Amino acid sequence: MDQRHATALKAAGMKATPKRLAILEMLEAEPGYASPEELWKRLKDRFDRLGLPTVYRNLEELSASGVLSKVIHPNRQLYYYFCSNREHHHHFVCLSCRKVEDIPACGIEALEQEVSKRNGGKVLSHILQLNGLCGGCADNGEKR
């Protein structure tokens, strides 16, 4: 049992079930993001029974509680990844190999202030994602 993940789950107010731990282990081992169905196919060998809705539900709950992160993908399907960096930061996502890399800083704070000042609005959240090709994929002619 991975104590780190069990602790993270408890901190999020969630029970540390074997299936949740398995999902976290699998996504942590992954360098990039994965879809619910992919994770399900790879995990269901390790359990007598594992429903696809359970994977969907847990990924969403884990994402909502901040244990996992969700990708905003052009195809509008759901993908999740694991990032242990608790600081506020953003990610570079490779659309070819799915690798997710940290972006150390962003100038969002200035933008938020600008919005508040100019329009009187309130920024509740922001999305900043760079899409492209990572070093490896840019070298090959790959695309997509």
Partner DNA sequence: CCTCTAAATAGAAATGATTTCGTTTTAGAA
Partner DNA sequence: TTCTAAAACGAAATCATTTCTATTTAGAGG
Chain residues in the site for Zn ion (CB under 5 A): 94, 96-97, 99, 134, 137
Q: Exactly one of 54, 91, 94, 134 binds DNA (CB under 7 A); which one? A: 54
Question: What is the distance between the terminal CA atoms of the chain, rounded to a whole angstrom?
Answer: 37
Q: Give the residue with the Cβ less far from Zn ion, 56 or 92.
A: 92
Residue 92 φ/ψ, nearest 5 degrees: -100, 125
> Distance between CA 79 and CA 86 in Å, rounded?
20
> Distance between CA 90 and CA 103 in Å, rounded?
5
Which residues in 31-90 contact Mn ion (CB under 5 A)? 83, 85
Q: For residue 31, which of 87, 96, 88 has the smallest C-alpha distance?
A: 96
Mask for 120-139, x = binds a second copy (CB under 8 A): xxxxxxxxxxxxxxxx-xx-
Q: Which does 111 bind (CB under 5 to 8 A by kind): Zn ion, Mn ion, a second copy, none?
A: a second copy
* Residue ranges that bind DNA, judged by CB under 7 A: 6, 9-10, 14-20, 35-37, 47, 49-54, 56-58, 60, 77-78
